[in-house]
């Protein structure tokens, strides 16, 4: 640590950072290849789209708050749910998780940057362009007020609805091209992550000593290769159909609508694991620190994570139980889906065992992790319900499914992301976020989340299908939909609280030391924020918790590993 | 039920333990600064919470397989009412091949008696994009997919009206592609069938408006999309209108079938179901009155 | 694989015991790219196999496809020449490397020409286009996707060939050339699969 400080004091370039003309700063960010800046750009970009997609959700909830509402037209509503889903998955979820990965992985393995810095920058900018392209569709054709040419085919764009004959105009093409480009960016970043983890670890950091976050990002990136590519292939086929008259999904010429579904879900299911594995990663780092105990069962956690990665490739057709596959196929996918609950359960039990016997500190990062633990448990259990095909025959494509996956994405992944923000904000900015505002954020968002998504299960059970812009009175869905909408407002309030906290703390937050949480992984050994070169001296490690070893020389982890 | 109780039990146990751990092991101000004992793992504990979930999964899987095979695997029963269902954007076509009936949007079926089962066997496909047939109180949903034939059976034991709607996003009016299944006693069903088998009403003596309406109808583009049994109208793109007046609703369950509504629909379908594929017919007021008078006679 | 840039780092506690070498990042990166591209090809092959025999009309594979023996031999040989180019560079035989690179590019170009000839025949004589039927759609997209990858590979190889003719490619670049050769081997490997699925099994 002292060598780092000495080097920073003599590093004159740091002093030059103050008071530079704004244009220079902008140019620096536009042309940077530094993983930390690229990571932050990914995160900022994702937060902007989070707000936009959140507004889209609010508009939908207002339309659905009462039966037979006329707040938006059916066409606009159909565009809203398509854009909301597409944006949240591709322009919020993926970038924000790639952003954290970009920032943290090199720091945690003692590297100075990612393996391919220029590819890193390219991947970010092509993804950014893709998002802007998708939103440009709003101003096409009939113009902004009528939601232009924004896609209206649903985020999974089932064939043959996406064929030229059923979707004239360019709305589908915006969807296809934007996601295709973002897929290229995703593959680029994933390639970078894998190569960095394999080839750039600091000396003595064997794979078995990597932090669990790094393991999970390794599995996630490997999944990206095998998951995103099928979607890319299917989109090429769709574009060939639409523009060169091919017949891949042209049912009139013998093509198969079900083939699109297979290809899409071969992408779609691993994709949600791509999104959730980093959430596990954050929890794996935060829960031990705030329980003051090492993670319980590190080898099992690694095995479970890798196992989840592999099994997730075999469960895709549980999204297709109602398509009319034969009993053998249905049974196989039931089995594979149920099996994946075993490694997932192991992870939950390991987290429980980490907390057990510890000294739990309920700082903001930890309370969000607690939310994650309960909510992810529930989400997993509703998933098990849905994995029983006969259950799914009733509840598939209904609001029960919508409630289930939002439970995972919002109750699980978003809560874990909030925890990650509060935990690493001091490292990134050198300031602490306000605990008081953090608690406001938590409680507002928790109330909103549960109001919305707990109640949302019920209309599904009562027969309400998804993607409908309105519903009849007298079905018994009205009051529940109204409550769901109220919850959305609380969530918006919580989110605003969070954004205010981030901005205010940047200027007025308490200054953070290099290790405000008394944590144990390498990123906490350098300054807050880290210098451009990350570490003055490339560290070496003797165990999974190098800083624990330094702080507890009488009882280092290396004695037990 | 098994799935529900197992998942509920798991939730109560795990959430309970979690809650307990968070309360019992919270950091108290009077605690010493010493870190708690660092436990890295335990082979026995980890083994047990691997094996027990595997056993639970096996049990759930076997129970689920039994239901799947019990639904999908059974042979087609002896006595069934066979209906061919064809999904369209945004309406349902029903054909009873053995009974010689073609209708749309309102499915009539006989109820079944456990002593003498008479289920209804649905053979389904789509004329355009993917739809899904879902009447929750009767059965789970089955997708209705172009270039693919799916089958399912329903077996209501109680007479009544069962509501549902299309459950696979199919375009702008997916929300109003509603399902109405009328389960009737065998006698009522037989009466309905015999009424539906008759060709359309063509004799309108004493009802000048309806007679005129028939002429207007047959000379307009209506006949390109709609069929009226026994007349020159044989279009298949839109619903069969032979017995339109016998239905409670129009526009696939979305609108009550009254003369005023019918007139408004024909004038401009998009005013009531925006995105419907029926174009406005641009008829003058007089013709609209006539056609409405005609169609309301087609019982 | 040895990291060509590995320098022994003194640890804070003492001298290095064993050398810390990690795989060369270029190779790892290329392996990842190959994995992703392989997944894309798998989907196109699956579509091809799925739609065999399902065309509603039009020419069938058996009627119009002939085994592209000559092109295949050229393409697969180009894997051998590129291998020799890499080993030549490793031994510092720069002219030898240029020669083998030229051979690789030439053989690749011949393959593309035979493909072009085949397509010309199919379109003009047999009337098979991507629009004709399911076979046309799946055939042209799969073979076309492969041909696109051949084009990209040839562009890269030509670039390196150009550099080498100016004497800019040296022994220390051998690891990078090997990474490029991995891509080329992948392209050839895909062709083996396409050949078997389209021209052998599918007919």
CATH class given for the domain over C25-51+61-201: mainly alpha
The mean pLDDT value of chain A amounts to 94
**pLDDT average, residue stretch A544-549:** 94
Q: Which of C24, C47, C136 sits opposite A237 (nearest CB)?
A: C47
Residues 114-133, chain C: which have Cβ within 8 Å of A? 130-131, 133
Is A229's CB within 8 Å of C55's CB? no
Cα–Cα distance for residue pair B293/A455, rounded to 1 Å: 47
C7 shares contact with chain A (CB less than 8 Å): no
pLDDT tens track for A154-212: 999 999 999 999 999 889 999 999 999 999 999 999 999 999 999 999 999 999 999 99
pLDDT tens track for A272-328: 999 999 999 999 999 999 999 999 999 999 999 999 999 999 999 999 999 999 999
pLDDT tens track for A471-489: 999 899 999 999 999 999 9
| Domains contained in chain A, CATH given | 5-559 (1.20.210.10)
The band of C197, judged by pLDDT with boundaries at 50, 70 and 90, is: very high
- Concatenating the DSSP letter of every residue in A394-445 gives HHTTBHHHHHHHHIIIIIIIIHHHHHHHHHHHHHHHSBPPPHHHHHHHHHHH
The band of B116, judged by pLDDT with boundaries at 50, 70 and 90, is: confident
pLDDT of A11 reads: 61
pLDDT tens track for A334-373: 999 999 999 999 999 999 999 999 999 999 999 999 999 9
- In what order do the strands lie in the sheet containing B101-104? B101-104, B91-96, B81-88, B120-126, B150-154
Nearest to B109, CA basis, from B38, B42, B50, B162: B162
Q: What is the dihedral of CA C29, C31, C37, C39, to 10 degrees?
A: -130
- Radius of gyration (C-alpha) of chain B in whole angstroms: 28
B117: Cβ–Cβ under 8 A, 6 or more apart, which residues? B77, B79, B155
CA–CA min distance A299, chain B (Å): 9
The mean pLDDT value of chain B amounts to 93
Residues 30-49, chain C: which have Cβ within 8 Å of A? 32-33, 35-37, 39-44, 47
Residues 203-242, chain B: which have Cβ within 8 Å of A? none
Is A361's CB within 8 Å of B3's CB? no
A468: Cβ–Cβ under 8 A, 6 or more apart, which residues? B165, B174, B175
Q: What is the dihedral of CA B142, B144, B149, B152, to 10 degrees?
A: 30
Subunits with 3+ C-beta pairs closer than 8 A to A: B, C
B20: Cβ–Cβ under 8 A, 6 or more apart, which residues? none
pLDDT tens track for C35-52: 999 999 999 999 999 999
pLDDT tens track for B202-227: 888 888 999 999 999 999 999 999 99
Structure tokens at A509: 């937050």
Cα–Cα distance for residue pair C141/C129, rounded to 1 Å: 11
Per the CB < 8 A criterion, the answer to whether A226 and C35 are in contact is: yes
**What is the β-pairing status of strands B131-133 and B120-126?**
unpaired
Phi, psi of C41 (to 5 degrees): -65, -40
Is C33's CB within 8 Å of A540's CB? no
Q: Which of A199, A256, A537 sits opposite C22 (nearest CB)?
A: A199
Nearest to C139, CA basis, from C197, C188, C56, C187: C197
Helices (H), A411-545: 415-429, 435-455, 457-461, 478-508
Is C47's CB within 8 Å of A198's CB? no
Per DSSP, the three-state class of A511 is strand
CA–CA min distance C50, chain A (Å): 9
Q: Which of A115, A224, A247 sits opposite C29 (nearest CB)?
A: A115
What is the chain A residue with the closest CA to B133?
A322
Q: Phi/psi zone of residue B146: left (φ > 0), alpha (ψ -120 to 50 degrees), beta?
A: beta
- Concatenating the DSSP letter of every residue in chain B gives -HHHHHHHHHHHHHHHHHHHHHHHTB--TTS-SSPPP-----HHHHHHHHHHHHHHHHHHHHHHHHHHHHHHSSPPPSS-EEEEEEEETTEEEEEETTTTEEEESEEEEE--BTTB---EEEEEEESSS-EEE--TTT---EEE-TT--EEEEE---S-EEEEEE--S--STTGGG-EEEEEEE-HHHHHHHHHHHHSPPP---TT-HHHHHHHHHHHTSTHHHH-B-TTSS-B--SS---TTGGG-SEETTTTEE--HHHHHHHHH-GGGTSTT-SSPP----HHHHHHHHHHHTT--
- Radius of gyration (C-alpha) of chain C in whole angstroms: 21
C50 shares contact with chain A (CB less than 8 Å): yes
pLDDT tens track for A126-159: 999 999 999 999 886 666 655 678 999 999 999 9
């Amino acid at each position: 640590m002292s060598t780092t400080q000495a080097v920073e004091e003599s590093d004159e370039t740091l002093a030059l950072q103050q008071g530079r003309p704004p244009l220079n700063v902008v140019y620096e960010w536009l042309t940077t290849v530094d993983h930390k800046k690229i990571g932050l750009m990914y995160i900022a970009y994702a937060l902007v789209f989070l707000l936009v997609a959140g507004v889209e959700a609010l508009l939908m909830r207002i339309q659905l708050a009462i039966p037979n509402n006329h707040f938006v037209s059916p066409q606009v509503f159909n565009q809203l749910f398509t854009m909301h889903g597409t944006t949240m998955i591709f322009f919020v979820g993926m970038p924000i998780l790639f952003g954290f990965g970009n920032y943290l992985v090199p720091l945690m393995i003692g590297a100075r940057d990612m393996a391919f810095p220029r590819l890193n920058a390219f991947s970010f900018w092509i993804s950014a362009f893709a998002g802007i392209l998708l939103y440009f569709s709003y101003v096409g054709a009939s113009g902004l007020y009528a939601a232009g040419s924004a896609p209206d085919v649903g985020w999974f764009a089932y064939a043959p609805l996406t064929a030229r004959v059923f979707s004239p105009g360019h709305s589908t093409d915006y969807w296809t091209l934007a996601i295709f480009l973002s897929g290229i960016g995703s593959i680029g970043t994933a390639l970078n992550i894998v190569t960095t983890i394999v080839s750039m670890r600091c000396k003595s950091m064997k794979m078995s000593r990597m932090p669990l976050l790094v393991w999970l990002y390794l599995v996630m990136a490997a999944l990206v290769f095998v998951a995103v590519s099928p979607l890319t292939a299917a989109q090429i086929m769709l574009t060939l159909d639409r523009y060169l008259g091919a017949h891949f999904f042209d049912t009139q010429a013998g093509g198969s609508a079900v083939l699109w579904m297979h290809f899409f879900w071969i992408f779609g299911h691993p994709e949600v694991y791509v999104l959730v594995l980093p959430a596990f990663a954050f929890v794996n780092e935060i829960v031990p620190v705030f329980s003051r105990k090492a993670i319980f069962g590190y080898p099992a956690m690694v095995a479970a994570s890798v196992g989840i990665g592999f099994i997730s490739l075999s469960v895709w057709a549980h999204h297709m139980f109602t398509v009319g596959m034969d009993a053998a196929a249905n049974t196989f996918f039931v089995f594979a889906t149920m099996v994946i609950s075993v490694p997932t359960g192991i992870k939950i039990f390991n987290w429980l065992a980490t907390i057990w016997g510890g000294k739990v500190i309920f700082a903001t990062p930890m309370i969000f992790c607690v939310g994650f633990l309960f909510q992810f448990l529930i989400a997993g259990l509703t998933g098990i319900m849905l994995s029983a095909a006969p259950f799914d025959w009733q509840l598939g494509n209904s609001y029960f499914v919508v409630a289930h996956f939002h439970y995972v994405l919002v109750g699980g992944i978003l809560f874990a992301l909030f925890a990650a923000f509060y935990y690493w904000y001091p490292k990134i900015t050198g300031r602490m976020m306000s605990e008081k505002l953090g608690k406001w954020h938590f409680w507002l968002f928790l109330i909103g989340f549960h109001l919305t998504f707990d109640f949302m299960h019920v209309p599904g059970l009562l027969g309400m299908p998804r993607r409908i812009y309105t519903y009849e009175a007298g079905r018994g869905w009205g009051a529940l939909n109204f409550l769901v909408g109220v919850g959305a407002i609380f969530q918006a309030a919580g989110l605003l609280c969070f954004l205010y906290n981030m901005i205010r703390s940047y200027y007025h937050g308490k200054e953070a030391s290099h290790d405000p949480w008394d944590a144990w992984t390498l990123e906490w050994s350098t300054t807050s924020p880290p210098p451009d070169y990350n570490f003055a001296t490339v560290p070496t490690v003797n165990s999974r918790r190098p800083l624990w070893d330094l702080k507890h020389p009488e009882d280092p982890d290396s004695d037990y590993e | 039920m098994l799935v529900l109780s197992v998942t509920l039990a798991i939730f109560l146990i795990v959430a309970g333990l979690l809650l307990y751990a968070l309360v019992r092991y919270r950091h108290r101000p009077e605690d010493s600064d010493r870190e708690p004992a660092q436990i890295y793992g335990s082979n026995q504990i980890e083994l047990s919470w691997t094996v027990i979930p595997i056993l639970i999964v096996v049990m759930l899987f076997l129970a689920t397989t039994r239901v799947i095979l019990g639904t999908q695997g059974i042979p087609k029963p002896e006595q069934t009412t066979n209906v061919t269902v064809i999904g369209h954007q945004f309406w349902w076509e029903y054909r009873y091949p053995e009974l010689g009936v073609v209708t749309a949007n309102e499915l009539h079926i006989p109820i079944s008696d456990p002593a003498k089962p008479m289920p209804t066997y649905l053979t389904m496909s789509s004329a355009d994009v993917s739809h899904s047939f879902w009447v929750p109180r009767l059965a789970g949903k089955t997708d209705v997919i172009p270039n693919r034939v799916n089958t399912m059976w329903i077996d209501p034991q109680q007479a009544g009206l069962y509501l549902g709607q299309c459950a696979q996003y199919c375009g702008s009016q997916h929300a109003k592609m509603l399902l109405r299944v009328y389960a009737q006693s065998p006698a009522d069903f037989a009466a309905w069938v015999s009424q539906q088998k008759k060709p359309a009403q063509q004799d309108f003596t004493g009802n000048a408006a309806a007679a005129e309406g028939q002429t207007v109808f047959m000379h307009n583009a209506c006949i390109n999309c709609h069929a009226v049994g026994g007349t020159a109208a044989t279009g298949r793109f839109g619903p069969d209108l032979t017995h339109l007046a016998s239905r409670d609703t129009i526009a696939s369950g979305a609108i009550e079938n009254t003369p005023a509504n019918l007139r408004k629909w024909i004038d401009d379908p998009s005013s009531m179901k925006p995105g419907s594929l029926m174009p406005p017919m641009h008829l003058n007021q007089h013709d609209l009155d006539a056609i409405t008078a005609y169609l309301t006679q087609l019982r | 694989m040895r990291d060509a840039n590995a320098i022994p780092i003194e640890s804070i506690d003492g001298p290095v015991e064993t050398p810390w070498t990690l795989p060369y990042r270029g190779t790892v990166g290329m392996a990842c790219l190959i994995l992703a591209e392989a997944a894309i090809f798998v989907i196109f092959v699956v579509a091809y196999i799925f739609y065999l025999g399902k065309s509603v009309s039009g020419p069938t594979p058996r009627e119009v496809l002939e085994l592209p023996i000559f092109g295949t031999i050229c393409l697969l040989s180009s894997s051998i020449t590129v291998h020799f180019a890499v080993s030549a560079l490793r031994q510092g035989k720069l002219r030898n490397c240029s020669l083998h690179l030229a051979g690789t590019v030439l053989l690749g170009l011949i393959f593309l020409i035979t493909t072009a000839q085949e397509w010309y025949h199919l379109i003009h004589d047999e009337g098979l286009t991507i629009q004709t039927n399911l076979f046309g759609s799946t055939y042209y997209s799969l073979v076309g996707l492969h041909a696109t990858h051949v084009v990209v590979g040839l562009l890269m190889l030509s670039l390196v060939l150009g550099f080498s003719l100016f004497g800019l490619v040296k022994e220390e670049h051998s690891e990078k050339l090997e990474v490029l050769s991995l891509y080329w081997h992948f392209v050839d490997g895909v062709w083996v699969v396409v050949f078997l699925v389209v021209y052998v099994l599918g007919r």
